[in-house]
Structure formats: structure tokens, C-alpha cells
Amino acid sequence: MTTSAQLFRDGDTDLAFKARWWTSRVLLYGALILWAFVCLFPIYWTITTSFKAAKDVTQGTMVPWLDFQPKWLGWKSLGLSPETITQVSTVRDEFLRRFFNSAVISVSSSILAVALGSLAAYGLSRFSYRFLWMKNSDISFFFLSQLILPPVVLALPFLVLYKELDLLDNRIGLIALYTLSVLPIVIWIMRDQFEGIPTELEEAAMVDGLSIWGAFLTIILPIALPGMVAALILSLVLTWNEYFFAALLTSTYANTLPVMVASQTGSQGISWWSMAALSFAAILPLIVIGVALERYIIKGMASGAVK
């Protein structure tokens, strides 16, 4: 009795194709996982380091509970561990003040930038202006050209100017500067948004008796809201992380979180556990935003790219 030949089976070309498909899959996922590891490992390293003691830091242990016993050392030095959270802690007050400064400055400058930028972008997308020799395209270019202005050019004049205006080490001063620095990006994103909205909407609204500002506020803004959220989040990311101006223009009162992180070098070297805890606290809000609102960030960055 002969072994019954399989009636239906893949031909040689099909088998070769299948093998190729499998190798390409393995390579693809391998590359994806490798890069995901490269992206995520530093975050993991930051979190675990904040739970290490001095011995574990010098040994470079990796896996909690297996390699080392996690301790609250880093968080205790910030006054944020379970035992110390109820006690009075000057470090915690300091940290919370910096955190609050960062939050106030980044949120208010982002909102201001989105408000100013949306208005300007709407105007530029709907009407033609003429100011001296400048037409619409020139005005747009004027706004967007601010993007190539490196911060270092403005930094020292602002330092002197703010000194005279008593705005050094002042939140308002930083808010104005941060608004300026994200305004071009907001205008860029929002102009794209408004140009995608048909003008018939406002025309209909104005036939119904709304003024131009009424039409803008009640009809157009709600439609453009996702774009505004995207612009707002992108501005938040940029302003929350800003270090250069904050380091130059603040000293004690209006310090932001990045400045506090950068000035952690003590006299006995760096205590890595508290540095890690502080760094993690500084990046946590944006990680949350990034995971939760990734859609908007991508939308914001994509809007300028794809016409």
C-alpha cells in the first residue's frame, strides 16, 4: 500500500512565497520591537532608577524584585513617598512650586498662542489685507518666518529688556516669550484648518444676520476645534519642555521644572534616585498626554505636511 499522496498541496513557488512572507514578517516585527525598545527603555530606566538605593545604582541593576528591592528612596527625597506624603517637606513644597510654575506658564502661553494664532490664521485665510507694501502672503510669511529666529538671538536683548522692565524671574515675562515662540506653529496649523472649511458656512450665517465675529465664534470655531486642540497640545509639549529661556531669565521665583531638574547637582555628586524621581515627575504629564491624545498630536504635525 502506497502512502496516499496529498491531493492538494502548495506548489514550490507557493512555498517559496510563504517562506519569504514569513521572513519579511519576522524582520518587520523584529525591527519594530527593537525600535520600540530603544524608545521605551530610557523611560523604564528612569522609573526603576527612582526606586533604587545607592548600591543598586552603582551596580546598575535592571529588574525590580529580581535584581534589587525597590525602595521609596527617590520619592522620599522629594517628599512624595507614602511615609513622607503626610509630613511637612520643604523639598516637596519646592517641587510643587516648580511644577505649578511650569503648568501655569505652559498652559497660559499655549492658550494665548492658540487664541492669537487662530484669529490671525482665520483672518489670513478669509480676507485679503494690505498693510503698507505687505499683502496676505507677505503677512503669512512674516508670521512663519519667526520660526527660524533662533532663541539665542532674542535671549540677551530680552535679558536686558526684562531687567529694565522688572520682568526677570517673572512668570508673565516667560509667558510672553513662550507665546511668541509657539505662535508661528499655531498659525501654520490653524491656517491649514481654516482653509479646509468652506466659506459658504459663514455666508449662510451672515445671511441669517450674524456679524462676521459672530459667525466666526459660533459657526467656525466649533468646526475647527480638533485642529485647535492639536495646536494647543503641540504648544504645551514645546513650552513645558522649554529650558533655554527659563534657565536664562529666571532665578528663584519663576523657575520651571526643567531648570530644577538641571540644577540637581549637589556637593556630594548626584543622587541618582532623586534625580530620576524628579525627571520622571517632569516627563509624566507629557507621557500621559502623549498616550491619551496621540491622535491630536499626529494630526497637528501632519496638517502642515500634507496639502
Partner 1 sequence: MSEGDRLHVVTADNISPARRMAGHLMIWGSLGVLALVALAQAAQTWGGSDFGFRNWRPTLYAYLLFSVCLCWAQVMLKGETGKRILFVLPAALFVVSLTVFPLLFGVLIALSDWNLSAPDGRKFNGMANIVQMWNDPFYWNALENMVWYCLAILPEYVLAFGLALMLNADIRARKFFRVAFLLPLMLSPVAVSWMIGKSMLVIQPAGPVIRLAKWLGYPNPSFFSDPLTAKITIMLMDAWTFVPFMMIMILAGLQAIPKELQEAARVDGATGWRAFWEVTFPLMLPVSITALLIRLIFKLKLADVIINVTSGGPGGATDSVTSFIFREYRDRSNVGYGTLLAMVYLVIIVLVMTVLMKFADKALRPRT
Residue 212 as a binder of partner 1 (CB under 8 A): the answer is yes
Binding-site member from 15, 26, 28, 217 for partner 1 (CB under 8 A): 28
Q: How far is CA 300 from CA 37, 112, 240, 271, in A?
A: 26, 17, 17, 38
Place of cell 520660526: 147
Residue 29 as a binder of partner 1 (CB under 8 A): the answer is yes
Residues 6+ apart with CB under 8 A from 32: none
Closest to partner 1 by CB, 83 vs 145, is 145
Q: Binding to partner 1 (CB under 8 A): which residues in 237-296?
A: 237, 240-241, 243-244, 247-248, 257-259, 261-262, 264, 270, 272, 275-276, 279-280, 282-283, 286-287, 289-291, 294
Residue 36 as a binder of partner 1 (CB under 8 A): the answer is yes
The set of cell numbers assigned to 2 is 502506497
Tell me whether residue 139 is exposed, middle or buried, using C-beta atoms within 10 angstroms of its C-beta: 0 to 12, 13 to 18, 19 or more. Answer: middle
Q: Binding to partner 1 (CB under 8 A): which residues in 52-71?
A: 57-60, 62
Residue 297 as a binder of partner 1 (CB under 8 A): the answer is yes
Residue 41 as a binder of partner 1 (CB under 8 A): the answer is yes
206-219: b (≥16 Cβ within 10 Å) or e = eeeebeeeebbeeb
Give the separation between CA 224 and CA 186, rounded to whole angstroms.
13
Using alpha carbons, select from 32, 307, 77 the residue that is nearest to residue 196. 307
Q: Which stretch binds partner 1 (CB under 8 A): 64-72, 81-89, 91-99, 200-208?
A: 200-208
Give the separation between CA 274 and CA 263, rounded to whole angstroms.
12
Q: Binding to partner 1 (CB under 8 A): which residues in 134-173?
A: 139, 142-143, 146-161, 164-166
Binding-site member from 69, 199, 218, 251 for partner 1 (CB under 8 A): 199
Residue 123 as a binder of partner 1 (CB under 8 A): the answer is yes
Closest to partner 1 by CB, 83 vs 217, is 217
